Structure 1
Amino acid sequence: MYTRRKFLTTSAIAAAGLGLAACRDAAQAQAPKASARTAASGPLNTRAIPSTGEKIPVIGMGTSGSFQVGQSPAELDPLREVLKRFFAAGATLIDTAPTYGVAEDVMGVLLAEQGLTTKAWLATKLSGVNGREAGIAQFEDTLRRLKTDKVALLQIHNLGDLKVQMAVARELKAQGKVKYVGVTHYVERAQDELADVVQAEKPDFLQINYSVASRGAEKRVLPLARDLGVAVLINRAFEDGKLFAQVKDKPVPTALTEAGVTSWAQAFLKFALSHPAVTAVIPATGKPDRQTDNLRAGIGPDLTSAQRDALIAALA
């Protein structure tokens, strides 16, 4: 299977050639500066996990690509600041996977050195393995790499070896090593299959792609999750950076800036969060200033229907 990690790794290489990072910076530069009157302020919004009522902040953080780095200070110091800003804002949800290169190792070290391991709401995955013993072994290695004895959420990555790994995840949940179990995918063509799985398995969580440019999840996955009481994590809310290239040199729609949205990143994240089935979004970044910008999307009201329509029109 062409995994999300492989896809994002390929995308990252392509992005370097296309200058997508520069596109984001340029797009954000076009957004009006927040005034004291319009800037969003206050604590991060939280939403309840339907299966338990536990509340988690609506802005989380992914690690694919961003935490797949070497050991030099130039690579690790920005990530230390990313984590510092993340937790200082009240965020806790970190999503990773054993198949994201060294991401779990790097995250484990950086959380431990800052005394943040017990504060983190860690979500990881059973990924790319087949068989019960392989799943258990991978999970135990994940705990070692993350320097913890339990995680909040264990997901079956891209539905791989689903029946066996779901049984493993539930076994680990019964042992108290996992609090919630879930399933994931990252492309629209897999959403019907994901919906079938959610309907049959009724996991605590599902994770799926959803953005202003890819709204297929609205057809079945998101309504089903809401009906069944399944929490939803959103990946690829930026379309792996491609959305910033689409809005380069365009201003954020007035309908959004009047509501306090001061960047395209905030607009895209708020779009995903404005669907009533969504629990949290998990944008990945290794840059402190972008982390701060992402976190601001979790403050203040959701987008109205008119504001969502304005954002859709801006990308048409």
Structure 2
Amino acid sequence: MAAGHRYAPNRRSFCWQLLAAAGIAPLAQASLAQARAGGAVIMRAIPASGESVPAIGLGSWITFNVGNDRVARERCFDVMRAFFAAGGRMIDSSPMYGSSQSVIGEGLARIGRAADVFAADKVWIGSGSRGPAQIEESRRLWRVPRFDLLQVHNLLGWEAHLPQLLAMKSAGQLRYVGITTSEGRRHREIESIMASQPIDFVQVSYNPLDREVESRILPLALERRIAVIANRPFRQGELLRDLERHPLPPWAVEEVGCDGWAQFALKFIISHPAVTCAIPATGNVAHVRQNMGAALGRLPDAAMRRRMAEHVQAL
């Protein structure tokens, strides 16, 4: 793996200064302190409201797009059951994700968890006039009375969709509004929207190798009190496949409590003070349990985060 840009030594202190200025440092510090001492699932406050959500969520890109295959759908339901049992709440999907929405909806009904989910979905259509119909179809597939969070997926038609989502929020039809991007695309436009629009969430790619968002987007999220969802924490599995060719360093086990490379990557991600939730996707029960384990026990401090990033970049 080629070395990326270096983690700025003062970045964490700068982020805590922004947290303090925003009035949410005590909540974040308490969460991190609890995490490092062990105990309950790590929770993160949504800056716009103070509501807390678990720091690990569940993505559905590819893994839940199983069509009408009953065996595969049952596996997805088992993943959801294990996710909630481990303390999870946020599930993220999109109309772009094939049958994922209907799988989630059937799963929530089957396991009786529709009242517990933090339902995060997206509008993904070029036509602004067709956005409301797509959103209603998504809600029908999820089988929920309303979404907690709706995001403009990859900024497609955001100029039309964002005012509609904000109007839904004002009318009580939606709780939070956000925007998304992935794989480092359109970061400059993301920053512009974050700086000028009253959004509650931003979703970006972030992991020990993809760290461009550390320079501007994550500090801006702290400054603007915008929650951050980290997607592609494993680069769609590519990162873990590369890392698993190497032994997990003993210090990651002894000092951070990592049980495998997945927890190594996730603990790195959710220990950043701007990150609200990471959303790894999986169709494997053992994997979802391991992912949720990253929201237990210790989290790395600034020095350990640097060590973790440098170790991954050097492999």
TM-score of the superposed pair, with normalisation by structure 1: 0.84
**2:179 partner amino acid:** V
1:119 correspondence with 2:112: no
Which position in structure 1 is the counterpart of 2:271? 274
Residue 305 of structure 2: which of 289, 296, 308 is its match? 308
**Corresponding residue SS for 2:281:** coil
The percent of aligned pairs where both chains have the same amino acid is 36
Deviations 1:99-156 (A, max 9, x none): 211110111011112111111100001112312x301111111111111120100101
Distance in 1, matches of 2:107 and 2:244, equals: 34
- 8 A Cα contact 2:257 2:298, kept in partner: no
Deviations 1:223-276, CA, capped at 9 Å, x for gaps: 000011000000011111111232233122222110311110000011111111
Are 1:269 and 1:281, in contact at CA under 8 Å, matched by a contact in 2?
Answer: yes
Q: CA contact under 8 A between 2:149 and 2:178: conserved in structure 1?
A: yes
What is the DSSP-based 3-state SS (H/G/I as helix, E as strand, rest coil) of the residue aligned with 2:263? helix
Could you tell me which runs of 5 or more consecutive residues in structure 1 were left unpaired when the two chains were aligned. 1-39
Q: Is the 8 A contact 1:154 1:181 kept in 2?
A: yes
What RMSD over aligned residues (CA atoms) do the two structures have, in Å? 1.4
Pick from 292, 297, 300: which aligns with 1:295? 292
Matched, 1:186 2:182: yes
Equivalent residue, structure 2, for 1:285 = 282
Instruction: Letter of the 2:159 partner, please give it.
Output: K
Q: What is the CA–CA distance in structure 2 between the aligned matches of 1:175 and 1:272, rounded to whole Å?
A: 34
Unaligned runs of 5+ in 2: 1-36
Q: Deviations over 1:164-187 (max 9, x none)?
A: 100111121122221000010002
Matched, 1:92 2:115: no
- Secondary structure of the equivalent of 1:279? strand
Matches within 5 A, 1:163-242: 163-242=159-238
Cα 1:41–1:85 shift into 2, 3 Å:
farther
Alpha-carbon shift at residue 296 of structure 1 (Å): 0.3
SS, match of residue 267 in structure 1: helix
Q: Cα distance, 1:75 vs. partner?
A: 0.5
Instruction: State the alpha-carbon separation in 2 of the partners of residues 284 and 249 from structure 1.
Output: 21
Corresponding residue number in structure 2 for 1:24: none
Code of the residue aligned with 1:257 in structure 2: it is V
| Whole-angstrom CA distance in 2 between matches of 1:191 and 1:69 | 31
Q: Distance in 2 between matches of 1:102 and 1:73?
A: 12
Report the count of equivalent residues. Answer: 276
The answer on whether the counterparts of 1:255 and 1:307 sit within 8 Å (CA) in structure 2 is no
1:128 aligns with 2:125: yes
Which amino acid counterpart does residue 291 of structure 1 have in structure 2?
Answer: V
1:58-88 Cα distance to aligned partner (Å, 9 max, x none): 0100111011003333212211211111111
| Equivalent AA in structure 2 for residue 65 of structure 1 | I
Tell me the equivalent position of 2:252: 256
